[in-house]
Amino acid sequence: MVGVSNSISPTHNRVVILVSGTGTLLQALIDAAQGYEILAVVSDKYCKAIQRATVANIPTVVVPLEGDRDAWNAQMVETVAGFDPDLVVSAGFMRILGPEFVHRFTVINTHPALLPSFPGAHAVRDALNYGVKITGTTVHRVDEGVDTGPIIAQRAVPVEPGDTEETLHERIKIEERQLIVEVIKSFTLESHE
């Protein structure tokens, strides 16, 4: 559970967002930013999501993974700790966070499938190839595993005839964007009751 932060307003929680890709989930969080403050956007590589944060005048840090994973994990902990967040949100972040990171911070992740089905980096493709009729999105706490932490919220999304990985993923992202904003708002409010 998120500890009571020392922020000024009771509902003004301090959030760091982790990204790796196009950043449409980040954009939804930027556009809806009430009840939480986005302190920084951190990525493992320069990507469109970093550009979106820059346009929104949000501090950004890129921590490239260059071979030594232990060094990268330590740099991620140091970088994020520098912003003193109450909550870290993985929004399209495509790296596995080390044990020190997930024990140091309260981390939540959004995954484009109904966990525990279809964990991993190709969830939409795997669901489509399996032939499910209903898939969806999951927001969960991040633990030391891959997409294995306690589930916080889920939304179902139908698979339509003729769907490709792209069309299905975009339909899932519509729900993901709404769900991650709702969870962060409820999460921060709970942390101060």
**Both tokens assigned to 181:** 């904003």
Query: Between 24 and 63, how does the x/- string for binding to ligand GRF read (CB under 6 A)?
Result: xxx----------------------x--------------
Q: Give whichever of 155 and 192 is closer to ligand GRF, judged by the CB atom.
A: 155
Q: Which residues are catalytic?
A: 111
149 near ligand GRF (CB under 6 A):
no
Q: Give whichever of 21 and 35 is closer to ligand GRF, judged by the CB atom.
A: 21
Binding segment for ligand GRF (CB under 6 A), chosen from 4-12, 63-71, 105-113, 184-192, is 105-113
Among 7, 10, 12, 21, binds ligand GRF (CB under 6 A): 21
At which residue do the structure tokens 């484009």 appear?
A: 112
135 near ligand GRF (CB under 6 A):
no
Per the CB < 8 A criterion, the answer to whether 126 and 52 are in contact is: no
22 near ligand GRF (CB under 6 A):
yes
Q: What is the DSSP string of the chain?
A: -PPPP--SSTT-EEEEEEE-S--HHHHHHHHT-SSEEEEEEEESS--HHHHHHHHTT--EEE----S-HHHHHHHHHHHHHTT--SEEEESS--SPPPHHHHHHS-EEEEESS-TTSS-STTHHHHHHHHT-SEEEEEEEE--SSSS-SPEEEEEEEEPPTT--HHHHHHHHHHHHHHHHHHHHHHHHHHHT-
91 near ligand GRF (CB under 6 A):
yes
Binding segment for ligand GRF (CB under 6 A), chosen from 69-77, 108-116, 144-152, 160-168, is 108-116
Binding segment for ligand GRF (CB under 6 A), chosen from 23-31, 37-45, 58-66, 126-134, is 23-31
Interface residues with ligand GRF (CB under 6 A) are 21-26, 49, 91-92, 110-112, 173, 176
